[in-house]
Amino acid sequence: MLSDGDRKVLREVARRSVLSGLEFHRPLDVDIGDYSESLRQERATFVTLNINGNLRGCIGTLEAYRPLVVDIAHNAYAAAFSDPRFPPVGPAEYEQLDYHISVLSDTSPMQFDSEADLLRQIRPGIDGLVLEDNGYRGTFLPSVWEQLPEREAFLAHLKQKAGLPASYWSDTLKVSRYTVESF
């Protein structure tokens, strides 16, 4: 768990990274020596940007490979300027942005022998899932449970996000789960 102070710092880093994108067309330069030990740990994150409750961008990493504070700076920048679903954030939108940060646990592979078995194991409201098969891959953060509270719908939409049909099933399908600390 991150302290309230660390959470505040990460929100500020995300905000400053978007501003850096508007001013200099690059993410905020982060000197990790300026941050607490907990913010220098390698962690995977997602940064979600909203305006008036509507999604404006969301980009993240599923595997930890860089310091938490650096991951936040890069993902905030990418959410604002590189989410293929949206045009880049403009200067007029900057003050309207709400920042939602998700810090991911490590992923844990799930063992199942059927779709029914998988569905029984999924924990609504808790699990984020990574689904992959034959080069297709998609993830849903646990926050997606708010829009898709039923296990069956959650899994069907995740398959579609990965580029597969909602009814798709294969014995080679892999699913991993993770949890998040969100703020």
Q: What is the pLDDT of residues 120-157, one digit of tens each?
A: 999 999 999 999 999 999 999 999 999 999 999 999 99
Amino acid at 144: V
Q: What is the reported pLDDT for 88? A: 98
Amino acid at 174: K
Query: Domain range spanning residue 23?
Result: 4-104
- pTM, rounded to two decimals: 0.89
Q: Which residue has the tokens 């940060």?
A: 101
Are residue 119 and residue 92 in the same domain, yes or no?
no
| CA dist list (Å): 172 to 25, 69, 113 | 42, 36, 10
Domain final residue pick, 87, 104, 121: 104
Are residue 97 and residue 11 in the same domain, yes or no?
yes
Are residue 89 and residue 8 in the same domain, yes or no?
yes
Angle in degrees, 0-180, between the axes of helices 4-24 and 68-81, rounded to the nearest 10: 40
Exposure on the CB side of residue 41, measured as CA atoms within 13 A:
13
Are residue 31 and residue 120 in the same domain, yes or no?
no
User: What is the tally of structural domains in the chain?
Assistant: 2
The radius of gyration of the chain's CA atoms, rounded to the nearest angstrom, is 17
Are residue 37 and residue 97 in the same domain, yes or no?
yes
Domain final residue pick, 104, 134, 149: 104
Q: What is the pLDDT of residues 21-48, one digit of tens each?
A: 999 999 999 999 999 999 999 999 999 9
Q: What is the pLDDT of residues 53-74, one digit of tens each?
A: 999 999 999 999 999 999 999 9
